[in-house]
Structure 1
């Protein structure tokens, strides 16, 4: 049995729009929060009701109490979407789309594998079918569990943003780095464990939901070939590159990232 996350462990945040529009679930990755990451992009997503979700122990979501897998996280997110639809918080007649960055991009792929009936389109942003080395994730989990998430701030500032972004956009960079500093250290470690166990490179062909894979041109964590591999591997895939971004495209290039999402999802 896949270790699961409780539905109550994923807290949705209304970012923009209202009921009666197509729904976009906008998710943030390891060390970030949906509001901090997506707040500039949602201004350009006026066609959608945008609902943000955070990983356990990040942003608005309570900390996880035990390790979990990506499949367990996907089950919780799917349950949350069904709950929102049943409660009338989102229009049951409207299409639902999911866009996730980094770890949440992998979550998009897991949702495509396990819960394809819920979504009309998926966006895998600054992500890939596998990220990094399992041992490195386990070592990071141990470090953060012992010393806290502030130990990750300096390295993340280098990896997350294209050169010059922090100097040119200090407020946006600070929002994301504060999200990292405030994340629960044990929940961060649990997320690292989920990343260590995630590799769907051999299963991409089973994803039938249309997918757009968006890479940052300056992303050293998940460079453009990662997006190209996802787009080529799924049944209905498109790849795109946001040249000015590194690993946090919705914050670094909000208008361009939103335009790619709008064009792809509204054509679905």
Structure 2
């Protein structure tokens, strides 16, 4: 396995980096930094917000070799160091981006000021399910996932209420590279850090959506319980009317939860 390369988009106003605390945000499988557009806009006056894309998604190059979630976490640290060497940062991520956050907490906790993991868990799905999806997308391309993803990603009625946001996210899925997407599926197939949560010492906020069938609130509760059992500080919050993409579905609620948490816990 080779550590992938990930690239970032500045989501806060243009200014010299370093004057504000750094917030790094990660997106879910099949989306891009557009997932964070609304939430980042609400936080951008107080934080320098940069979003990174998964391999083969958004502006990140695809890869010809597999990787695991730990290598994604290493790639995020490399990215931060290319922007602002050695700086400690707040991190927030959704689904696979959130799994990467847990891995950052385990392997690079000394670099984090706070951690927000959203719509994710210490293990997601089954290895068989992810490997089957990887094979399907590798053969047929990402458009084959659009209908199922639309059903999983959004709470009932969201696509009707917010056609522009939902369309933007589904276009990101359509445009994702089939091989990058498939390698991400394979990374999720091998991801299971349930036994390592107790080693996370950075303050952690686990946000879930009540309507999320992929990572229901019980997953966030289990993450918080695993961290606190090891002596860490963590809390779980469930949002009504939200499914799997909390920052896009409820940007005001997510931004307020994150702002409060980062101010209370960001060292």
TM-score of the alignment, normalized to the shorter chain, above 0.5:
yes
Distance 1:80 1:150 in 2: 29
Q: Which residue of 2 aligns with 1:249?
A: 246
Moved over 2 A (4+): 3-6
1:150 pairs, out of 143, 148, 164, with 143
Q: Which residue of 2 aligns with 1:162?
A: 155
Distance 1:4 1:125 in 2: 27
Distance 1:15 1:4 in 2: 28
**Cα offset for 1:183?**
0.2
1:171 aligns with 2:167: no
On the 8 A contact 1:4/1:73 being kept in 2, the answer is no
Q: Which residue of 2 aligns with 1:74?
A: 73
Equivalence map 1:208-219=2 (5 Å):
208-219=201-212
Q: Which residue of 2 aligns with 1:44?
A: 42
On the 8 A contact 1:166/1:173 being kept in 2, the answer is yes
**Cα offset for 1:261?**
0.5
1:130 pairs, out of 117, 123, 134, with 123
Deviation per CA, 1:54-102, whole angstroms, max 9, x where unpaired? 000001101011110111111111111122113xxxx94xx51010000
Give TM-score scaled by structure 2 length.
0.94
Distance 1:124 1:42 in 2: 15
Gapped regions of structure 2 (runs ≥ 5): none
2:191 pairs, out of 188, 198, 212, with 198
Give the SS at the match of 2:29: coil
CA-based RMSD of the aligned residues comes to 1.1
Give the SS at the match of 1:64: coil
Q: Which residue of 2 aligns with 1:62?
A: 61
2:221 pairs, out of 188, 210, 228, with 228
Give the SS at the match of 2:102: helix
**Cα offset for 1:29?**
1.2
Give TM-score scaled by structure 1 length.
0.94
Give the SS at the match of 2:195: coil
Distance 1:190 1:32 in 2: 15
Gapped regions of structure 1 (runs ≥ 5): none
On the 8 A contact 1:11/1:54 being kept in 2, the answer is yes
Equivalence map 1:4-153=2 (5 Å):
4-6=2-4, 9-17=5-13, 18=15, 19=17, 20-34=19-33, 36-45=34-43, 46-86=45-85, 92=87, 95-153=88-146
Distance 2:61 2:6 in 1: 7
Deviation per CA, 1:83-131, whole angstroms, max 9, x where unpaired? 2113xxxx94xx5101000011000000011111111111110000000
**Cα offset for 1:260?**
0.5
Q: Which residue of 1 aligns with 2:177?
A: 184
Give the SS at the match of 2:155: coil
On the 8 A contact 1:121/1:211 being kept in 2, the answer is yes
> Which shows bigger deviation, 203-212 or 76-85?
76-85
